[in-house]
């Protein structure tokens, strides 16, 4: 076991993927399982932190990893708007914010109050008008308290690894976070997998850390970089 090197810290973690309703029975979602974020919450608690985990649509089998940890409070959320409200309200009470959740960039503008029925549509396929969601991470960066460390995530589809880091660097600068954890995703890698590779980029120009292994191992390596960032 590791030293309790995060004792006394309050860490906010978002994990999973938001779901944006279309009608009472349908939604726009993404493939994030929440495993990496849950592993971060578990690792942070094991190193002494008090963790609030905003869990966006995470399977109970995945959440079971943190269920027996008194230091982790799980708060379920559904949509990006719910996650934004919850995260903004909790942000001031945290020294570290880790935004591992996959947040929908768009939501449906007018959510249908009744189920959309094929037999009502006279043969025409429905068209969904989307509107942009606010970027929660950018909002939290704007209200950042002194010394607070804010970590963003980026899942990118790329053809070459250097493209991954380049995109990550640009995203880190654009969002203003302290750290950005970038991982490659595709039809077959990243999401449901037990293993992961993260490139952890730092806004202070330190070289990237490459963390690879089980999601728990990757979580601990990311938290090592967070610890160094808090100390610097
Ligand atoms: O731009 P992109 O969606 O790749 O950025 C990913 C990062 O931004 C993640 O940390 C995610 O949690 C956060 N994000 C957010 N609000 C959004 C979209 C993404 O906080 N609307």
Q: What are phi and psi of 79, to 5 degrees?
A: -95, 170
Percent of the chain whose predicted confidence (pLDDT) is above 90:
85
- How many CB atoms within 10 Å of residue 179? 24
Per DSSP, helices labelled H in 80-159 are 80-91, 136-142
Torsion over CA: 210, 211, 212, 215 (sign) = negative
Distance in Å, CA 99 to ligand 1 centroid: 8
Q: Is the pLDDT of residue 192 over 80?
A: no
Distance in Å, CA 81 to ligand 1 centroid: 13
Q: What is the per-residue pLDDT for 205? A: 84
For residue range 108-140, what is the model confidence (pLDDT) as tens digits?
999 999 999 988 888 889 999 999 999 999 999
In this prediction the ipTM stands at 0.95
How far is Cα 107 from Cα 109, in angstroms, rounded to an integer?
6
Q: Which atom of ligand 1 is nearest to the CA of 171?
A: 1
Pocket (CB within 6 angstroms of ligand 1): 80, 99, 101, 103, 105, 133, 135-137, 152-154
Average of pLDDT values for 1-26? 95
Q: What is the per-residue pLDDT for 117? A: 92
Q: What is the per-residue pLDDT for 188? A: 75
Q: What is the per-residue pLDDT for 140? A: 98
Q: Which atom of ligand 1 is nearest to the CA of 87?
A: 20
Q: What is the per-residue pLDDT for 187? A: 78
Q: Is 30 a catalytic residue?
A: yes
Element holding 56 (H helix, E strand):
strand 50-56
Q: What is the per-residue pLDDT for 161? A: 82
Q: Which of 30, 133, 183, 196 is catalytic?
A: 30
**pLDDT-based confidence at 21, cuts 50/70/90?**
very high
For residue range 150-190, what is the model confidence (pLDDT) as tens digits?
999 999 998 888 899 999 999 999 999 999 999 988 877 77
CA–CA distances in Å: residue 202 to residues 13, 180, 184: 18, 7, 18
For residue range 26-64, what is the model confidence (pLDDT) as tens digits?
999 999 999 999 999 999 999 999 999 999 999 999 999
Q: What is the per-residue pLDDT for 170? A: 96
Q: What is the per-residue pLDDT for 72? A: 98
The closest residue, in CA terms, to atom 19 on ligand 1 is 103
Q: What is the per-residue pLDDT for 3? A: 87
CB-based burial label for 176 (10 Å; 0-12, 13-18, 19+):
middle
Domain boundaries, the chain: 10-111+126-231
Q: What are the DSSP calls for 63-102, one per residue?
A: HHHHHT-TTEEEEEE-SHHHHHHHHHHHHTT-SEEEE-SB
CA–CA distances in Å: residue 109 to residues 46, 129, 142, 209: 42, 6, 26, 40
What mean pLDDT, rounded, does the chain reach? Answer: 95
- Looking at CATH, the fold of the domain delimited by 10-111+126-231 is given as Rossmann fold (3.40.50)
């Amino acid at each position: 076991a590791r030293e309790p090197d995060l004792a006394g810290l309050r860490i906010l973690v978002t994990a999973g993927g938001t779901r944006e309703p279309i009608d009472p029975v349908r939604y726009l979602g993404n493939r994030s399982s929440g495993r990496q974020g849950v592993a971060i919450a578990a690792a942070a608690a094991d190193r002494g932190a008090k963790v609030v985990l905003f869990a966006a649509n995470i399977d109970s089998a995945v959440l079971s990893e943190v269920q027996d940890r008194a230091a982790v409070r799980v708060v379920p959320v559904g949509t990006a708007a719910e996650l934004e409200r919850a995260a903004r309200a909790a942000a001031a009470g945290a020294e570290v914010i880790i935004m591992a959740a996959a947040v929908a960039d768009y939501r449906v503008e007018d959510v249908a109050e009744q189920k959309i029925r094929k037999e009502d549509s006279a043969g025409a396929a429905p068209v969904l008008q989307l509107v942009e969601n606010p970027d929660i991470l950018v909002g939290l960066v704007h209200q950042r308290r002194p010394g607070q460390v804010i970590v963003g995530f980026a899942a990118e589809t790329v053809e070459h690894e250097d493209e991954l880091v380049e995109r990550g660097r640009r995203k880190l600068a654009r969002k203003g976070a302290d750290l950005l954890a970038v991982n490659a995703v595709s039809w077959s890698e990243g999401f449901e997998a037990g293993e992961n590779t993260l490139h952890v980029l730092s806004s202070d120009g330190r070289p990237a850390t490459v963390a690879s292994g089980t999601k728990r191992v990757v979580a601990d390596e990311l938290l090592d970089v967070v610890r160094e960032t808090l100390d610097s």
